[in-house]
Amino acid sequence: MSRIRGLFVTGTDTGVGKTLITAALAAALRAEGRNVGVWKPVQSGASIGSGDTDAERLLRGSGIDERPESVAPFSFEAPLTPLLAARAAGIEISLEAIAAGGLPLMERYESLLIEGAGGVAVPLTHDALVIDWIAALGTPVLIVARSSLGTINHTLLTGFMLRQRGIEVAGVVLNDGPGPAAALEADDPSIAGNASLIEQYSGMRVLGRFPRISPDRALNAKELAKLTRTIDLSPIRQALNIDELR
């Protein structure tokens, strides 16, 4: 498929906050008047209509008026890696079919924030990992990683794998995760130095830290957009190729 105008959001693992940060970035860019959409090519772990799917969270957080089925054309209930979740549903997916599912979104939006499933080495189809899908799209990548202990190893490995494939990394966003913000760095002193060490050893830019949010707190698009003030959005705009759209 031909290169699309978009930015792929991947994680160093599952549960690192990709959906929250993708939604917040979309909300912030749309607040600037940019026609940015969201796309979750494959999701698993809940059924659409439950309110718990990544697509539904993306739409709530970004304020985009779309049907979740349009944002996530391939959705599976089983909490498994996409390959196994699809097989459990009796479906065999391919990169071509996934690409076709996103064509309507590509036509409606100037640029797309594309949220992956788990990390770059997650099996997506019978013969492709998520990184193969990224390479096929031809988009730059934003890495979402935990702020806490262990993130240096996971982030460096993710960046190394992407660069081996010649995939551009727009930057890294560290996520403080859910829970109370009080005494965060006192509880985990590694957080204070993780960003600088990631930059030192990888050459990748850490664009900022996303603050902790209580899991019981439901934020609207306006509130989420404000939280991106801790993130340098310039490389994200550049990766999305939307600077000239202002």
Binding residues for substrate: 44
Does 40 qualify as catalytic in the annotation? yes
From the candidates 4, 11, 28, 40, give the one annotated as an active-site residue: 40
Annotated binding-site ranges for Mg(2+) = 19, 54, 115
Annotated binding-site ranges = 15-20, 44, 54, 115-118, 175-176, 211-213
Annotated binding-site ranges for ATP = 15-20, 54, 115-118, 175-176, 211-213
Please identify which residue in the block is written with the tokens 């130095």. Answer: 193
DSSP-assigned states of every residue in the chain: ----SEEEEEESSTTSSHHHHHHHHHHHHHHTT--EEEE-SEEESS-TTSS-SHHHHHHHHHT----HHHH-SEEESSSS-HHHHHHHTT----HHHHHHHHHHHHHH-SEEEEE-SSSTTSEEETTEEHHHHHHHHT--EEEEEESSTTHHHHHHHHHHHHHHTT--EEEEEEE--BS--TTHHHH-TTHHHHHHHHHHHH-PPEEEEEPPB-TT----HHHHHHHGGGB--HHHHHHHT-GGG-
Q: Are 66 and 30 in contact (CB under 8 A)?
A: no
Catalytic site positions: 40
